[in-house]
Amino acid sequence: MRSRPSWRAAERVPRRMTRPAAAPPLDVDVAIIGGGLVGASLAAALAGTGVRLLLVESAPFGRSGQPSFDERTTALGNASRRIFESLGCWSALAPEAAAIRVIHVSEAGRFGFARLDAAEQGIDAFGYVVANRAIGAALWERLSGAPELTLRVPARAEEVAINADTAVLTVAGEGGERQRVTARLLVGADGADSQIRALARIGARVEDYDQVAVVANVAADRPHRDIAYERFTRGGPLAVLPLHDGGLAVIWARSPREAQELLAMDDAAYLSCLQREFGWRAGRFVGAGRRGSYPLKLTRATTTVATRAVLIGNAAQALHPVAGQGFNLGLRDAAMLAEAVTGAAGDAGSMELLRRFEQWRSRDRSALVHFTDGLVRLFADTRPGAGLLRNLGLLMFDLLPPAKSALARVSAGFGGPAPRLARGLPLKHV
């Protein structure tokens, strides 16, 4: 796997006297800043299409400092599965993917619940739970040796200047190596605190949910039967998802204080607290892996495009994990941007192309942001009668086939054109 820059310092020269040589200038069509799951997916989609690519990532694959490729899990919808099939990655992911064939939604302290069964919807599964580590490995294997792709890892983008015709930046390697790069299009795939978003002078609205997600893999005393649970507790949403090895992935949103308490507990105390809040539907929890955490905020860029720049993934929108749709949305961003770029007759960063991309993605993006944010606020509502209305809503939902069918289609997107890759169609080459 080619995962390090090709720059080399002069040999047999004392370190204190060595000055890293500047690499030759590089001219590309698309420079992707951020090689996490979404950025690497875009690079994998564009690799081999005739588009000259640069991918810059600050942490090498496999290093603990790369949060996108850790032991956290991602629920991939069927559209995302088809995108990975189109990219040639699914065969590597399938052995480590756990199917979600039943979804069970409930609220702690209430008798109402809703249950969705994939077989009733005429599909094999609603989606698949895969470790981020496995997705990252499959993507980077796809990128290794890809034609017309330059990897600069570990490295950072510095001294970025954007003008009407090009984006010019300096790529600085971990050892001090520097290279001047000219790109027709600069892609910000660098997360919720996007450097590219700031440099492109794109604003962002940030709403703090005052919650922290505590994540862990746990074991139960009985098989998970391909069931995914979403339980709304007083402290925040609690998701329990099936894993390919028979275990369960737990994502639990709590207040910052409660999250710290969960992280400080020993395994027995954590499992006892989890059992008390979740109940016994998944059996008795008998073991827990290492716990991790991350703060929960809703971040929305005011626009996703600017002169010679575009935002995808968390740089464009970072969602609450309540419905498990954040990465699916970002992956559709990447697939649609790849389609726009490869379908263009000329300039990969023209404003006409970027506006078309933004129009294609606006409905899906806006609807999913409102859907996930609305769920969080609905189940956090403590006004008199709100709980009873939610309970009745879950009961009614469980009795209405059309509502179930609509929810089953969530992972395919909320509107706008579906990416070619999500339909199993190849991209058009430039």
CA count, 13 A, side-chain hemisphere, 46: 32
**Number of Cα atoms under 13 Å in the Cβ half of residue 100:** 27
Q: Note whether 407 and 324 are within 8 A (CB).
A: no
Q: In Å, what is the CA distance from 19 to each residue of 14, 129, 173, 258?
A: 10, 47, 13, 50
**What is the rounded distance in angstroms from the CA atom of residue 229 to the CA atom of residue 246?**
15
Which tokens in the block code for residue 225? 């039967």
> What is the C-alpha to C-alpha distance for residues 355 and 306, in angstroms, rounded to an integer?
9
d(CA 241, CA 229): 6
pLDDT score recorded for residue 4: 37
User: Do 21 and 179 touch, CB atoms closer than 8 A?
Assistant: no
Written as one letter, the residue type at 141 is E
What's at 50, amino acid-wise?
Answer: G
Question: Cα-flanking dihedrals φ and ψ of residue 323, to 5°?
Answer: -105, 5
- Asked whether the bond before 384 is cis by omega within 30 degrees of 0, the reply is no
Rounded-to-integer distance, Cα 335 and Cα 332, Å: 5
- Helix or strand run (H / E) with residue 132: helix 132-143
Whether the model clears a pTM of 0.85, i.e. scores above it, the answer is yes
Amino acid at 182: T
* Domains (range + CATH), the chain: 15-96+131-206+298-385+413-423 (3.50.50.60)
**Which residues, including other chains, have CB under 8 Å from residue 391's CB and lie 6 or more apart?**
107, 110, 111, 112
Handedness of CA 47, 194, 59, 419 (dihedral sign): negative
Q: What is the pLDDT along the chain (430 residues), one digit of tens a residue?
A: 333 333 333 333 344 445 566 789 999 999 999 999 999 999 999 999 999 999 999 988 765 555 555 668 999 999 999 999 999 999 999 999 999 999 898 887 776 778 888 898 888 999 999 999 999 999 999 998 898 999 999 999 999 999 999 999 999 998 889 999 999 999 999 999 999 999 999 999 999 999 999 999 999 999 999 999 999 888 888 999 999 999 999 999 999 999 999 999 999 999 999 999 999 999 999 999 999 999 999 999 999 999 999 999 999 999 988 778 899 999 999 999 999 999 887 899 999 999 999 999 999 999 888 888 877 877 766 666 555 555 555 555 455 565 556 556 665 666 778 999 999 999 875 4
Q: Which residue has the tokens 């709590």?
A: 254
